[in-house]
């Protein structure tokens, strides 16, 4: 995450069970700071302005990050294989819009599960 303030405009915003056409969001400090419709984004200050139609074409859709509530890894990396594998798998998922995940471990002896859980906890703190 960086400190830039961004506006993404001209999207269909899907959030909280609703779909809003010609929407925009202002992101500051990595979080949504404001949203609206039409050209009202021009009244907002931003370091970067992103026209979703230019980036993704007509019909661009913007959603909150996805949450994976059960997974064992991704991209050939298993969460059971330690902190580096967890980071690598999470990077794969992040590239597809999953911003949070519950790291699931395969059944193993208790001492091994404890070490694997500690690796997951270390990654969660970073």
6-62 maps to which CATH number? 2.30.40.10
Q: How much of the chain exceeds pLDDT 70, in percent?
A: 99
Boundaries of every domain in the chain: 6-62, 66-124
**What gap in Å lies between CA 83 and CA 72, rounded to an integer?**
13
pLDDT of residue 82 exceeding 80, the answer is yes
The pLDDT, as a whole number, for residue 94 is: 92
The pLDDT, as a whole number, for residue 126 is: 76
The pLDDT, as a whole number, for residue 1 is: 58
Model pTM score: 0.70
Q: State pLDDT tens for residues 22-70.
A: 999 999 988 899 999 999 999 999 999 999 999 999 989 999 989 999 9
The pLDDT, as a whole number, for residue 30 is: 84
| Average confidence score pLDDT of the chain | 93
């Amino acid at each position: 995450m960086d400190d830039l303030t961004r506006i993404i405009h001209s999207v269909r915003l899907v959030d909280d069970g609703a779909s809003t056409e010609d929407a925009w969001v202002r992101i500051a400090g990595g979080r949504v700071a404001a949203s609206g419709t039409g050209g009202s984004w021009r009244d907002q200050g931003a370091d970067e302005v992103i026209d979703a139609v230019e980036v993704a074409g007509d019909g661009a859709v913007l959603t909150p990050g996805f949450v994976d509530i059960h997974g064992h890894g991704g991209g050939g990396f298993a969460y059971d294989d330690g902190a580096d594998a967890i980071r690598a798998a999470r990077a794969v998922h992040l590239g597809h819009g999953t911003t949070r995940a519950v790291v699931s471990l395969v059944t193993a002896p208790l001492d091994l599960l404890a070490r694997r859980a500690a690796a997951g906890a270390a990654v969660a703190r970073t």
